Chain A
Amino acid sequence: MVYAAVFAGGIGSRMGNSETPKQYLELGGKPIIIHTIEKFFVNDRIDAILVLCPKAWVSNTEDLIRKYLPAGKPVRVIPGGSTRNGTLEAAIAYLEANCDVDDATVLVTHDAVRPFLTHRIICENVEAAAAYGACDTVIPATDTIVESADGQSISSIPDRKRMFQGQTPQSFRLRELEQVLNSLTESEKASLTDACKIFTLKGKPVHMVQGEVFNIKITYPYDMKVADTLLKGKEHS
């Protein structure tokens, strides 16, 4: 079985003056989160979808799903945790308790605010997680990355050819992810917010799946303008 977990836990503190969490803002006439869920809804490699959102938004999210999605694939909405790792744990706990899970089960995790992901990215995540245990979606870094230990001066400039920017999905064999998370101390859980980083620190391989430059994360008002511009061309179809 392959499950998608759409992480919609952010409260949008970086999204200008908007009171609405950014994943619920409208893009082209629909909330961003719906666009994202639809990508997993139509992909036949995904058996069921779990949406993890702020507790106060569970009912609203269920309403939106009912309003915009046709009947078909199971889509469940549950509250996420207060941290990314907490949300990941909530997803695992729900799946273990309520769904058909075994050692081959794959979990594809994705940010609700990345609605531009493609069919290929999802399929390659499923294949890579099944084959390697874990994978991250990345694109080659275009800017030079500068490292600074003190925030004042450069301590090193890594070779750009070896640098990649992480996107999502990040995908895992569910049981391996569970084991790795269980091995963390509480302070590690608080400081290590990226599941792929946790895998790497534990010496486990993380395969890289080629992302897309346009698989952007809508974080700032500027990103919303970029997303709107990408959709502007739709009248030519």
Chain B
Amino acid sequence: MINTVYRLVAPGMIDVACTEPDLRRSILLRPEYLSICKADQRYYLGNRSREALKAKLPMALIHECVARVIYDPTGTHRPGEFVVPVPNMPTEKDDVIAENYLPTSHFCSSGYDGFLRDYIDFDPARVVTVPDGVDLKVASFTELISVAVHAVSRFDRFAHARRGFVGVWGDGNVGFITALMLKAMHPETKVYVFGTVYEKLNYFTFADGIYHVDHVPDGLQVDHAFECVGGEPSRYAIAQIIDRIRPEGVIGLMGVSESPVSINTRMVLEKGLQLFGSSRSGLQDFERTVQLLHTQPKLVGYLENIIGSVVDVRTIADIHAAFAQDISRNFGKTVMKWDK
């Protein structure tokens, strides 16, 4: 079958291409809602190195979406069912290294086509059913939520048992979702959020404390921390975390930076800290995320609040309009209703 794919061919330029999915092997999904990620925006704006753009384009953007099952040759999923496809595509099995850290894994909208397609043709084993009742616009950014769930799962693995106070640095989407999922998975833990914009911090009503980074009370300390700032400012966040964290705490690094970030290693050594990186997520994280959204419906309510806008997409011009809206927003998610 011929499938239509909407590819970024150069920054700001989207063009039509066609692929040929194999009906005997692929499940066919029809995108329902798609969500724009900052990584997509970096490609769209050309804010990646020339080498990266040359290596990865042309490709269809978007790796966050909820889709309707159209056709499943395996009969596992019934037509009409809503699912989220897992954009990480492992090509080998490893008993030690998680699928999202294997260098051989592929990733949709990072060198491989993302979900801006007429049909998403996919491995039937790599989609997760969305339970009835979960808001589909929220389900569209399940991938981002699963990244937070993955980071908290890694925290569970690495952090010592004293988890009374955990800090989350960053008042953007990743900070919001990480703090929310941390609280959902560790309700007894006091979650403190540190940011730079009070208007954004006011969204974190579920947190046990919100602090402007310039006005943190003297003596406030945390057992562990997550850095969700990214970019150049992440060095200030990491410095403040090292300053405020108690000995032997762990620091989860989640913010993406295009350039190297300096770290006060003297204090890392002195306090015996552990820093761990966390990036993307795998099938199990998606399954756990969907389960959490189903069993704790309050989470969906909080997550609905960060949907900045929903853009109907019937033309390529509408896709450009969605990206333009997204770049002008400093907080919240831009969701596209796919009607192309």
- Interface residues, chain A, CB within 8 Å of chain B? 27-30, 35, 38-39, 41-44, 69-70, 115-116, 118-120, 210, 212, 214, 230-234, 236-237
Contact = CB atoms under 8 A, between A and B. Distances in A.
A42 B23 contact: yes
Interface string B51-80: 000000011000000000011010000011
Contacts of B58: 233, 236
A237 B2 contact: no
Interface string B11-25: 000001111100110
A118 B18 CA distance: 11
A29 B5 contact: no
Contacts of A232: 17
A73 to B, nearest CB: 10
10 contacts: A28-B2, A42-B1, A42-B28, A116-B2, A118-B4, A214-B4, A230-B17, A232-B17, A234-B19, A237-B113
A24 B231 CA distance: 54
A218 B52 CA distance: 37
A212 B71 CA distance: 23
Contact of A118 (B7, B59, B118): B118
Given A28-B20, A69-B23, A70-B23, A44 B7 contact: no
A233 B30 contact: no
Taking residues whose C-beta sits less than 8 angstroms from the other chain, chain B's interface range is 20 to 34
B98 to A, nearest CB: 25
Nearest to B56: A236
Interface in B221-275: none
B5 A119 contact: no
A230 B7 CA distance: 12
A39 B23 CA distance: 11
B204 interface: no
B314 interface: yes
B119 A119 contact: yes
B5 A38 contact: no
A229 to B, nearest CB: 9
B288 interface: no
Nearest to B69: A44
B23 A230 contact: no
Contacts of A41: 1, 23, 71
A166 to B, nearest CB: 20
Given A236-B58, A236-B113, A44 B70 contact: yes
Nearest to B24: A70
A70 B2 contact: no
B340 interface: yes
A233 B1 contact: no
Contacts of B123: none
